[in-house]
Amino acid sequence: MSKEILITGGHVVTLDDTLGDGLGDALGDVPGGDVRVRDCVITQIGVGLRPGPDTEVVDARGRLVVPGLIDTHRHVWQGAIAGFTPQMTGYGYGPAVLTGISLDHTAADIYAGTLWGAMQALDAGITTIGDWAHALQSADHADANLRGLRESGIRGLFFYGGPGPADDDPNPPHPLDARRMRDEHFPGSGSGSGSGSGNSGTGNSATGTGRLRMGMALRGPCFTSPERNRQDFAFARELGLPISIHVGMAGTADAVTALRRDGLLGPDVNYIHANQLTDEEMDLIAASGGTVTITPSTDMLMQFGTYPATGRALERDIVSGLGVDTVCSAGTDLFSEMRLALAAERSRANAESLARNDLVHEVALHQRDMLRLATLGGAQVLGLADETGSLTPGKQADITIVDLRSPHLDGFGDPVAMLVLGAGPADVETVLVGGEFAKRDGTLVGTHAAKARDLMHETQDRLRAAIR
């Protein structure tokens, strides 16, 4: 890697409203702009920046330069079993995946699936991920999952989940191995949730693994007993780690009110899905400073809810981000999630007018609102907004470059609208994480890319043989 990289001539969408200086509109766009990267960090954004003698120049003319996308909730270990449950609801997903094929995964399979799953994300322009790792049967599985993330080069949070060692307890405790994982792999963690510079959300100040932080993927009140849930929350908070739980899905109820009853609400809690929550529960999340992760594809494909929580969360100013969730039943990119979130929310917002056969003059939410959810909003959810989420001098150089020259993206209006309405992983030309190339000229780079594919296919072959 050159010490300095200069991305030149692209339509730069910074998502940093404090920039501008006459160079762009109120959202910080810089048409025909340049981004200078030095020693992993964005150092300058402007027009007509000149390269030095040793600068590596990336031509971005005809491209859109945006912050690296951020997926706040994905089960990355499922990279090797994408498409396994395409017609299943959440009700069928549990026995098929969580107490089914996941138990056939050795530690080596978890490593292979996670490494490949992270490469799937990077290929789609996702530079930061919230990995909800819930197939960890042992400490070896946990270490393998973390190793897959680390070797991929992706940034993000490793949310330590279950099921833990086999146990006859119908409400087993959260794996106690989480303490060992924190102490061995995340020295310096446990300082509480992030604050300042827009860094609200479920982050922490762990620095032990560079690009990765640790959190806790708890079962939550919907999937364990009240007593065990209180113990799990206490364990996570004793370790000083942010918490992520599933709530507001079909078949679950009263999760947030249960947390209030037990005094467990707080700004360190991320609520995944939240589709079926009552208005009172959404208000409780807002008042407590919690965050929401919206997963439109699985929400609507797997009967998790009628509409994603997008509008209801945003109208309460709840910090929110987008997630792919399970690639067993959905895709692998955030472009699809942005489109579906926008379409579903406009449908929800217009439902009453349609029922009256009334026409409306405008529709709620803009395409740029979706890009913000997929970048800066996601960084805030994960507590990483001081590091990433916008193209801001001083932040890490997490950058995604999308080629707009194809017929389906070479439009007349706002290029961000074209991206949200039409782009896909194949349009992602270049991806940098911390100033290092993860994808270039439309192809994943590094020896680990080919290695990940081979390992993934070996795992697939073994799993097919195991379930015959």
Cβ 341 vs Cβ 321: under 8 Å:
no
pLDDT value of residue 18: 57
Residue type, 468: R
Structure token digits, residue 27: 């959202």
Q: Would you call 170 exposed, middle or buried from its count of C-beta atoms within 10 A (0-12, 13-18, 19+)? A: exposed
Cβ 433 vs Cβ 122: under 8 Å:
yes
pLDDT value of residue 294: 98
Q: How far apart are CA 338 and CA 371, in angstroms?
A: 7
Q: Do domains 4-67+389-443 and 69-381 have the same CATH topology?
A: no
pLDDT value of residue 135: 95
pLDDT value of residue 116: 98
Q: What are the pLDDT digits (tens) for 361-410?
A: 888 889 999 999 999 999 999 999 999 999 999 999 999 999 999 999 99
Q: How far apart are CA 132 and CA 325, in angstroms?
A: 9
Residue type, 274: A
Checking DSSP bridges between strand 4-13 and strand 63-67, what pairing results, if any? parallel
Structure-token match 């919230």, residue found: 130
Which residue ranges make up each domain of the chain?
4-67+389-443, 69-381
How many degrees, rounded to 5, is the angle at CA 271 between CA 380 and CA 154? 50
User: Which residues, given as ranges, of the chain have pLDDT below 50?
Assistant: 1, 19-27, 191-200, 203-208
pLDDT value of residue 443: 97
pLDDT value of residue 95: 92
pLDDT value of residue 190: 64
- HEC states along the chain? CCCEEEEEEEEEECCCCCCCCCCCCCCCEEEEEEEEEECCEEEEEECCCCCCCCCEEEECCCEEEEECEEEEEECHHHHHHCCCCCCCCHHHHHHHHHCCHHHHCCHHHHHHHHHHHHHHHHHCCEEEEEEEECCECCHHHHHHHHHHHHHHCCEEEEEECCECCCCCCCCCCCCCHHHHHHHHHCCCCCCCCCCCCCCCECCCCCCCECCEEEEEECCCCCCCCHHHHHHHHHHHHHHCCCEEEEECCCCCCCHHHHHHHCCCCCCCEEEEECCCCCHHHHHHHHHHCCEEEECHHHHHHCCCCCCCCHHHHHCCCCCEEECCECCCCCCCCHHHHHHHHHHHHHHHHHHHHHHCCCCCCCCCCCHHHHHHHHHHHHHHHECCCCCCCCCCCCCECCEEEEECCCCCCCCCCCHHHHHHHHCCHHHEEEEEECCEEEEECCEECCHHHHHHHHHHHHHHHHHHHHCC
Q: How far apart are CA 235 and CA 239, in angstroms?
A: 6
Neighbours of 280 (CB within 10 A): 10
What's this model's pTM, rounded to 2 decimal places? 0.94
Q: What are the pLDDT digits (tens) for 343-360?
A: 999 999 888 888 899 888
Q: Which CATH architecture has domain 69-381?
A: Alpha-Beta Barrel (3.20)
Q: Which CATH class is domain 4-67+389-443?
A: mainly beta
Residue type, 417: A
